[in-house]
Amino acid sequence: MSGSLSRTCDYQKVEKMKNKDMLIKQIVKIMTSCDAIVIGAGSGLSSSAGLTYSGERFETYFKDFIDTYHLRDMYSAGFYPYETLEEYWAYWSRHIYYNRYIDSPKKTYQILLELVKDKDYFVITTNVDHQFQKNGFDKTRLFYTQGDYGLWQCSKPCHQQTYDNEDIVKAMLKQQINMKIPSQLIPCCPRCGAPMTMNLRCDQTFVQDEGWYQAQQRYQNFLQKHQHTKVLYLELGVGSNTPVIIKYPFWNYVSQNKNAVYISINLDDLYCPENIHKQSILIQGDIHNILNSVANEMRNDHDTK
């Protein structure tokens, strides 16, 4: 079943072993027959959906910041030492809005939902852009491990609670002038008065509120329920930045369940350990295009029955 045995595998040899059309048919068969699907999503999935952090999209929304601060992409721009909170929140309000509150350019997430909506599924993701819930996935089947662009927290933090930011982010976006927001819009903690910050896992100050722990428990319950069933662990766009959250656990779950299958789709970082290669399918390519091919094949397969 495997297209690769190790990280050092030659991708050209992978493609020669099985062409993509055959792999697509195999994925459809697995998705149709499995008892459950665990989706592990990384940044590559959102990038494939068009939510890119550099290039034309970055230049369109942040030209003034690029010209002034010589920024290279949205990721590094988030760490730039802006001199004032007015500038800091001018940048971050745009970053949040264009990556959290508008629709993604492509319907990648909707295609994925079409593939799994009739299955018993659960999603674990390191993405913070809320795209799963925004595109109709059941929020009780989602575990956002690293936070959410749509949430703020106390920067200290003085308490373990998060706050929705949509209204004030849109106000910041509308009222900013010369890359600065009005001072009265700077968000402060309602309890201690300290500056608010993003609810993103950057260090030990990350707030894991009640909702976070509830989602974690639902995920653990799902894994336990299906630890011996026919489970598809579908990894989409997961790289090597935080492999301990999705990639390594998926490998471990598959190694302990002879009925499980591991499928990884990504532009790169395609590899798996020797002990599960017979239970694995690795496909190098654009996630959107591959998911679309799987959806088309599934429709054709359904129509012929």
Cis omega (within 30 of 0) for bond into 157: yes
Most confident option among 2-6, 23-27, 96-100, 271-275 = 96-100
User: Minimal CA–CA distance to 44: which of 268, 283, 280?
Assistant: 268
Q: Which CATH class is domain 56-103+148-200?
A: alpha beta
Average pLDDT over residues 246-267: 97
pLDDT digits (tens, 9 = 90+) for 71-92: 999 999 999 999 999 999 999 9
pLDDT of residue 224 exceeding 70, the answer is yes
pLDDT of residue 305: 62
**Residue 154 confidence class, pLDDT cut points 50, 70, 90:** very high
Q: Would you state the pLDDT for residue 44?
A: 98
Question: 3-class SS at 14?
Answer: helix
Among 2-16, 48-62, 120-134, 195-209, which stretch is predicted with the lowest mean pLDDT?
A: 2-16
pLDDT at 202 over 60: yes
Q: What is the pLDDT of residue 196?
A: 98
SS3 261: strand
**Percentage of the chain exceeding pLDDT 90:** 89
| Domain layout of the chain by residue ranges | 11-48+106-146+209-303, 56-103+148-200
d(CA 256, CA 241): 24
pTM of the complete model = 0.92
Tokens 């933090």 sit on residue = 157
- Rounded CA gap, 49 and 131, in Å? 10
pLDDT tens digits, one per residue of 110-135: 999 999 999 999 999 999 999 999 99
Give the CATH fold of the 11-48+106-146+209-303 domain: Rossmann fold (3.40.50)
Q: How is residue 214 written in tokens?
A: 């509830």
- Which has the closest alpha carbon to 135: 116, 111, 115? 111
Residues 147 and 198: beta-carbon distance below 8 Å: yes
Region class of 55: left (phi > 0), else alpha (psi between -120 and 50), else beta: left
| Cα–Cα distance for residue pair 253/141, rounded to 1 Å | 19
| Per-residue pLDDT, 9 | 39
Per-residue HEC secondary structure of 195-251 comes to: EEEEEECCCCCCCCCHHHHHHHHHHHHHHHHCCCCCEEEEEECCCCCCCCCCHHHHH
Same fold, 11-48+106-146+209-303 and 56-103+148-200: no
Query: Would you state the pLDDT for residue 269?
Result: 84
- With bands split at pLDDT 50, 70 and 90, how would you rate the model's confidence at 146? very high
